[in-house]
Structure 1
């Protein structure tokens, strides 16, 4: 597979909520706790969204880390609604010592909450995806893993419907789902509408058509939901799938945890998710009495110059709270987690380190000749240009509200059609661009 571009992935957040009023505080990097012999020491609390791993895998991590750093004690705090709860806690100084940077934090807000880890060039010598959480040449986060973008399928179901090759166009994709509906008992596509956040996974596919400059192109476009534009192509595909009746009967009753079992067992055939989801669905398949080999990962059905593309970038980034009383211990955990824990490999993700290898979960990508696209960072001084537009337009590109409304429109639960809904999005977008300049 070819890496299409080597610049950092332009991380995008959803509405910034109430995160703009925090004080700058002191730089905790100057008063790291050390024991008398200079060894790193102290208690640290690590916030995580992986509530399913705290009592198992993460305890193994804790034991191994503390054997290397015997003067450090690690405690975990699992948070189910990570984005919502942590975004609120950022208004205090009580959000642990190490935490995953919420998507609600815009780049210019990073110094308000997190200790700098070094210059972008310095940190990039060891880690990938550094520019995604950087501001004014300072890096603030290290990816816990890297992801490719595409969709997870139950290959057994697709083959039962006679489909053995990845669709190359949106039309072929919809036709494939129709074949699944016609010849199997499976639900062709599952939206995960009710939990909401999985709908943001569609946005992660920007770049598969427009290439590394996609974020800058979007920021410079008055009407992104117009035929020929990448945003139109991505959202139009979701709309058409639902409009054709190829998703679950009642999206308001979907359940994320259950969806993994449904896909793993073959009751559902397809979900658009980052590659991070593959191992979770494989585990669910095995638990349901099926085979992990039934689960595969394919690139989105948009080819450019005859080739599939997949946008890659970092997952959540571990960061050190600027209010940590033991910042050196916190930084030690960040580095150890990325370099030694084995988390990325266990999750089927791209390694966050620069020398990482391709995971087995992306084996299908090799035979398909998929080219990776890594998104260009915004030009200096324009880091928040795109988020300023979608915040002003109140279109949560990385959230769930506007896509839930789109699904409701497609299934007839809201007034309008694709043309009218996309026109309304374009009107709000162009007005926001004019307002923010």
Structure 2
């Protein structure tokens, strides 16, 4: 079923592209690419990754090569929305940042596999499609982290971070007894994502490349996640996770932790930026990798996503310049350091100077036996469906309203069966 779905997507794009080539032949030739001395790069613009950040990042490259890098933000809501629109209009940029190839866009992208500098970039094999490397990145965002309040641990008499689920549950109880919110969560996307973040190391130890196993109908997601649903339901019943947290905005949850009222807060490495922005806190923050099942090696695989990914449009009018720019962005030491510092990004083995908490996270990333694909997966290791994360969040939130773990497992399996 999944193979047929992927083939349909690819065929539709190729057919559409052929029609658009005919139409774009009547348009201005400059619309579909760059001049030999220019490279257009479509980037995700945010509060911290703004226009000036990107221009500063590429300026040394421009000075060294004489090429002019034109930074462009999305014309739609996001790069993910804008890039397909630009492909359809024949106005795609040379370099695309922040999104990943899929079965629809891969035929339009340059295969980077034969470039000698590509193999050493982070997670490049995890995002390969059909053995081809269409995307390279600067580092990874660690997904499976548990931030904790060290003062709360001291007052609760907790001397070590937990490594098994039994120890984790005991820690929640001790924090509760000490008067702290044991574990903070929130509504919207965070409810489901947080449960996944906690379970990534265990799940990827028990079922390596579990997304592929689901696609091959060798594993049911409900069976894989049932143990975590059961744990989570127990924590809800015990009050270790507040029932009304499901109604909180994630920024409010961040604020609760920053205020010092919370013991544990599972989150991704991007939370470091929030903590840095908060300034000096009245307590010390630590981080650890989530627990694993009794008898499993600790730490387990670290759930992660490629960070600052870059792709090249194969229809570019300046493929050579685009290759030079991407190579600079993912291999130049100064460029790597600037990007790692900007957005909570980590790279295994890096020597970039970090804050003390950043050093803890870097150690977690370095000590992980592997970086594992999250959610729907990546590259060829993918679920046979799209929209998994929103549906998973909906299922987890059902545990707050009386759904049993078994019903949650059945609900996610039914959705996957219907959505294949």
Which TM class, normalised by the smaller chain length?
Answer: 0.7 to 0.9
Structure 1 unmatched runs, 5+: 1-14, 36-40, 377-381
How far residue 246 of structure 1 moved from its aligned partner, in angstroms, is 3.2
Farther-moved stretch of structure 1 (42-51 vs 332-341): 42-51
Provide closer, same or farther for how the CA distance between residues 207 and 265 of structure 1 changes in structure 2, counting only shifts above 3 A: same
TM-score normalised to structure 1 length? 0.70
CA contact (8 A) 1:166 1:298 kept: yes
How far residue 51 of structure 1 moved from its aligned partner, in angstroms, is 3.8
In structure 2, the residue matched to 1:209 is 205
**Is residue 109 of structure 2 the alignment partner of residue 117 of structure 1?**
no
- What is the CA–CA distance in structure 2 between the aligned matches of 1:77 and 1:244, rounded to whole Å? 47
**Is residue 303 of structure 2 the alignment partner of residue 307 of structure 1?**
no
SS of corresponding position for 1:139: coil
1:282 corresponds to which of 271, 275, 286: 275
How far residue 132 of structure 1 moved from its aligned partner, in angstroms, is 2.3
SS of corresponding position for 1:116: coil
**Is residue 216 of structure 2 the alignment partner of residue 225 of structure 1?**
no
How far residue 386 of structure 1 moved from its aligned partner, in angstroms, is 4.3
Farther-moved stretch of structure 1 (300-309 vs 136-145): 300-309
Deviations 1:85-111 (A, max 9, x none): 3576477355543324546x53x3342
Deviations 1:109-139 (A, max 9, x none): 34234222234x8454332311222223321
- What is the CA–CA distance in structure 2 between the aligned matches of 1:309 and 1:338, rounded to whole Å? 27
Larger helix fraction of residues: 2
CA contact (8 A) 1:308 1:369 kept: no
In structure 2, the residue matched to 1:245 is 239
How far residue 145 of structure 1 moved from its aligned partner, in angstroms, is 1.4
TM-score normalised to structure 2 length? 0.73
Provide closer, same or farther for how the CA distance between residues 338 and 224 of structure 1 changes in structure 2, counting only shifts above 3 A: same
In structure 1, the residue matched to 2:24 is none
RMSD, matched Cα = 4.2
In structure 2, the residue matched to 1:22 is 13
SS of corresponding position for 2:126: helix
Deviations 1:288-323 (A, max 9, x none): x317x8232211111444532132554242112344
How far residue 142 of structure 1 moved from its aligned partner, in angstroms, is 0.7
**Is residue 387 of structure 2 the alignment partner of residue 400 of structure 1?**
no
- What is the CA–CA distance in structure 1 between the aligned matches of 2:366 and 2:133, rounded to whole Å? 33
Between the two proteins, the alignment pairs up a number of residues equal to 384
**Is residue 59 of structure 2 the alignment partner of residue 69 of structure 1?**
no
Question: Which protein has the larger Cα radius of gyration, Structure 1 or Structure 2?
Answer: 2
2:149 corresponds to which of 139, 146, 155: 155
